[in-house]
Amino acid sequence: MTIDTTAINQGMTHFDGFDAIWLFGYGSLIWKAGFPYLERRPAYIHGWVRRFWQGSHDHRGTPDAPGRVATLIRKPGAICHGMAYRITPETLGPLDVREKNGYLRLITELHFCNDRDGEQAEGLVYIATEDNAAFLGDAPYHRIAQQIAGAQGPSGPNRDYLLNLATALRELGVDDPHVFELERLLTPSESIKE
């Protein structure tokens, strides 16, 4: 299923004239940027949780066997941890194309971790909302894990995306029960030694 959000995203004028923009990453961006950046800092945003509810027909799956990748779902009072990148505006163009399968830019307040002054900045985050055609939504954990286990696309196995994200979150000291439960279901348990 393809819906192209590139034109909508490139119509955003909010950061016109800025030399640099903060971009908040909560999925693959946490462990792999894939673009040049000026600065990278652990950060969090308020009011969202990470969920593997977005279908991926172009990166971690195919139209016949879509994978599942992360999006953010609104939850009052929640905090979502991730990685913030300070980028030049030119970097957004290729990102809009890369994330064209349902992700829209949203302006958000970023809070930087390990900062005694509680420093924050206005920035951008890409979110796939439930009204996009590739949105899959919730399902029982074993079904989500099954779908991830069976999917791969041009960017590699869907399983690697999930496991890399779980590892990166652990390294950041972030607890994300949704991601860690999927990791558990996707990791064969060690064989019992006699």
* Burial letters 40-78, b for 16+ CB under 10 A, else e: ebbbbbeebbbbbbbbbbbbbbeeeebbbbbbbbeeeee
- The least distance separating ligand BEZ from the CB of residue 42, rounded to whole angstroms, comes to 13
Catalytic one among 39, 90, 99, 183?
A: 99
Q: Which is nearer to ligand BEZ, 130 or 142 (CB)?
A: 130
- The least distance separating ligand BEZ from the CB of residue 158, rounded to whole angstroms, comes to 14
Calpha distance 23→29 (Å, rounded) = 10
Active site residue 99: yes
Say what the alpha-carbon torsion angle 145, 24, 97, 4 is, to the nearest 10 degrees: 70
CB count in 10 Å sphere of residue 178? 16
Q: Which is nearer to ligand BEZ, 53 or 145 (CB)?
A: 53
Q: Which is nearer to ligand BEZ, 10 or 142 (CB)?
A: 10
- For ligand BEZ, the binding residues (CB under 6 A) are 25-29, 70, 99, 103, 126
- The least distance separating ligand BEZ from the CB of residue 77, rounded to whole angstroms, comes to 21
Q: Which is nearer to ligand BEZ, 71 or 188 (CB)?
A: 71
- The least distance separating ligand BEZ from the CB of residue 127, rounded to whole angstroms, comes to 7
Question: Which residue in 2, 23, 20 sits closest to 123, CA to CA?
Answer: 23
Which residues partner with 123 through β-bridges?
22, 108
Catalytic residue IDs? 99
